[in-house]
Amino acid sequence: MSDMLLITAAAAAVIVMWSLLAKDTAASVAGLGVALWFPLSILLYRLLLRWLPVIDGVRLRPMDIAPGLRRQVTAACLLTASLSILCLTSQPAPVAIADIVALNFACLAALLDRSEGWMPNYVLVPMLLAGLVAGILHDSSAQAILGAAAAWIVVSLALVALSITLRANFLSGTNITMAAACGAWVGLEGLWTFLCATAFVHWASCVLLRHVQDRAAAERLYLDNTPKAWTQPMGPSFALAMALAMLLPGFLPGLPDWILHLASQKDQY
């Protein structure tokens, strides 16, 4: 416990220092809020991971959080806080604050999917609705609606195609709902970045899984019950891809010229 408190205090101190370097007062204040929220989010997410499966009937009684899962929660919250600071340094404060809300929704959903193989709709649906409301407030409601709809369609078709091709049950309503929620947040402009990043991150995690002995978090999905392959939960892949799609536009001016040239050539075609 003392180690966790030490890590939390050190990480919070670093985040406070970063927030003091923000480009304006609003971003600096928001950064201080991120620093204060970071240790609270660790405690809150551990509590939710213990009790939400009981509330939803997934488990009969609350389970103790294993040390490995505790470290995963701390790492996920630290990553979320770091990405939040990057949002504040690369985007206007109102947009960054909205994205921070989305990152925390995605973090909780990813942790639940990682630990339980389950994401509740009462987390995903508010995330989707918040993304649509944020689009309205930022005068980009059409982008949010089209992004959510396109993500829902593309991910649904991709999962159906995988299920038919590989004779496995890849189709999941919660995965599709989270994809739609992420699509609402990134909008139509960031949709292809989100989809490509999701595919790459999920593929990489499944490949790495083959070299890991502990496959407790993996799901065996093949219909003929043969151990031909395992797959990782998709929630963490969606969360990381959404963060990348949110942050990439803010850092585009700092990318090398050859990357920007390739991107412009692709848009022309």
List, for residues 40-99, the tens digit of each pLDDT value: 899 899 999 998 988 887 788 888 888 888 889 988 998 999 899 888 888 888 889 999
Section 133-140 average pLDDT = 91
- The pLDDT score that the predictor gives to residue 125 is 96
- The pLDDT score that the predictor gives to residue 49 is 92
Q: How confident is the model at residue 236 (pLDDT cuts 50, 70, 90)?
A: very high
For residue 216, report the phi and psi dihedrals to the nearest 5 degrees. -65, -30
Q: Six-digit token pair at 248?
A: 């990439």
- The pLDDT score that the predictor gives to residue 18 is 65
Domain ranges of the chain: 2-268
Question: Are the C-beta atoms of residues 139 and 187 closer than 8 Å to each other?
Answer: no
Q: What is the DSSP string of 115-149?
A: HHS---HHHHHHHHHHHHHHHHHTT-HHHHHHHHH
- The pLDDT score that the predictor gives to residue 17 is 65
Neighbours of 248 (CB within 10 A): 16
Looking at the chain, the whole-number percentage of residues with pLDDT higher than 90 is: 41
Q: How confident is the model at residue 251 (pLDDT cuts 50, 70, 90)?
A: low
- The pLDDT score that the predictor gives to residue 205 is 85
The whole-model pTM stands at 0.83
Look at residue 209 and tell me whether its pLDDT is greater than 60: yes
- The pLDDT score that the predictor gives to residue 166 is 77
105 vs 171, higher pLDDT = 105
Question: Are the C-beta atoms of residues 103 and 80 closer than 8 Å to each other?
Answer: yes
Section 189-213 average pLDDT = 85
